Structure 1
Amino acid sequence: MAKTPKTTILNPTADEAPGDRKALLNDSLRRRIVSMELAPGAVLDEVSLSEEFGLSRPPVRELMRQLAAEGYIELEPNRPARVAAMGYETLRNFFLAAPLIYVATTHLAAENATRADIERLKATQLRFRAAIAENNTVDRVFYNDQFHHEIGLASGNPYLMPSLRRLLIDHGRLGMTFYRAPVSAEAAEGLETAVIQHDQIIEAIERRDAVGASDLVRAHWDLSRKRMADFVAPQGLDIPLG
């Protein structure tokens, strides 16, 4: 199995303000977790992270609490922070919830998106296209998730966003799992279809077609769900596909 490509993280310098170094740590940890560079269940060494990013312990702890609230890591009393685990129950809940949340956020985005929301969505889609053209697996997964995150923001519903953020963490990690396999002709065709569906979703949101946008994102989910389930679930393990 091919080794997961590592994300490129700029090293913090002494000239950067603590706030900048904290933002850099925040971005680094999110990408390392979603890209599976930090595996599910891996221990996060607070001291090492403080030294790597030139930060004192309090801002690192504060960031850890924020990441735990979003579902990236797990914090327990008297135990070191760990990357959020992935197991059977995680996969089961993911496949049950994903279509519900993607359809709900996309439907609402078509009703509520502003011009600025749509422009951000288009900019993310350009980055997604570039990642595919460059065969950059990490960026491909990251910008696919960012695309759906932007849709969630455009939905304008604060009740859905925490669930969407949590969903996207594991969608990204599952994506990194099955994208490690060699890209077959069928997979390449699927990626091209995904790009086209993204464009169609943007168009539906832009013309305020909530029903059409919902149908498109449901088809978009169907495109990837079966391959993900086949790749990560051992034969005979019953995981509902949603």
Structure 2
Amino acid sequence: MTDQPKTKKARCLEDLRNRILTQELPPGAYLDEVDLAETYDISRPPLREVLNQLAGEEYVLLHKNRGAQVSPMTHKTLRNFFVAAPMIYSAVTRLAAMNATTAQLMRLKDTQLLFRAAIRDGDAAERALLNLRFHTIIGDMADNEYLAPSLRRLLIDHTRIGMTFYNPRNPSLTRQRKQAADQHDEFITLIEASDSDAAAALAIAHWELSRAEIESFVTPIGMEIPLGEAPQVLSTKGAS
């Protein structure tokens, strides 16, 4: 049985998500409905349905008389991101190890293969999108309607932050990318073994790696900033 071709509306929705995640459409940008309708060869009513769905998923904000705005990233959202991330990732991963299905594990393994390929090929945008997919699947495994919206928002901003501060000239990136990929393999092993305590602990370690990676994006080569100061560095950067 072959997959049905995507509708214009579905292609528009998927592409706008990806353009927001990869910062092609930056935080705070307003979307022109006329331009979008022409770009995706779609009429205004289904386009507005797409924008309403994106608003429900927190990719955009809808303003009366001003249209859709890509969700901003402010000092407050960055501070809250750093506070919430370890708690949410740990809780979600613990539940994933308790509830994962065989089909979900197969999807996670397939995504990991693609993630490693993106790292090998040096495709920053594809790597970021596949990392989001990997952790989204873990969220699906957790099967918790209270954590799911928080994880979704967290992953949107985590992906955008990664794209904002990506620095291909930083020599530490290769090592960090390899370690992140290795930790993804560990997630699969621990979830498959239903080891919820170890999976939750790994989620914290994976987050700490992410923090170090973000810090390296905003620190000039040759200069070191203590890891605990990373949120302040990000907030300053975001304000410029």
Q: Which range, TM-score by smaller chain? A: 0.7 to 0.9
- Asked whether the 8 Å contact 2:183–2:206 carries over to 1, the reply is yes
- Find the counterpart in structure 2 of residue 210 from structure 1: 196
Distance, in Å, in 1 between the alignment partners of 2:87 and 2:157 is: 15
Deviations 1:134-172 (CA, angstroms, capped at 9, x unpaired): 000000111111111000001111111111111111100
Q: Tell me the CA shift for residue 240 of structure 1.
A: 10
Match of 2:184 in 1: 198
In structure 2, what residue type is equivalent to 1:190?
Q
Q: Is residue 48 of structure 2 the alignment partner of residue 61 of structure 1?
A: yes
| Contact 1:95-1:240 at 8 Å conserved across structures | no
1:1-242 equivalences in 2 (<5 Å): 20-184=7-171, 186-229=172-215, 231=217, 239=232
Distance 1:178 1:238 in 2: 13
Does structure 2 retain, via aligned residues, the 8 Å contact 1:92–1:240? no
Please state how far the C-alpha of 1:70 moved relative to its aligned partner.
1.1
Letter of the 2:167 partner, please give it: R
Q: Which runs of 4+ in 1 moved over 3 A?
A: 229-233, 235-241
The CA distance in 2 between the partners of 1:194 and 1:229, in whole Å, is 15
For the aligned residue pairs, the C-alpha RMSD in angstroms reads 2.2
Aligned counterparts of 2:110 and 2:134: Cα–Cα separation in 1: 9
1:207 CA drift (Å): 0.5
- Structure 1 unmatched runs, 5+: 1-15
Q: CA deviation at 1:183?
A: 3.9
Contact 2:173 2:213 in 1 (8 A): no
Q: Give the aligned length.
A: 224
Q: Is the 8 A contact 2:191 2:199 kept in 1?
A: yes
Is the alpha carbon distance of 1:220 and 1:106 closer, same or farther for their aligned partners in structure 2, counting shifts above 3 Å? same
SS in 1 for 2:122: coil
Cα shift at 1:230: 5.8
Per-residue displacement from partner, 1:65-93 (whole Å, max 9, x unpaired)? 11111111111111121111112111001
What amino acid maps onto 2:116 in structure 1? R
TM-score normalised according to structure 2 size: 0.87
Residues 117, 154 of structure 1: 8 Å contact kept: yes
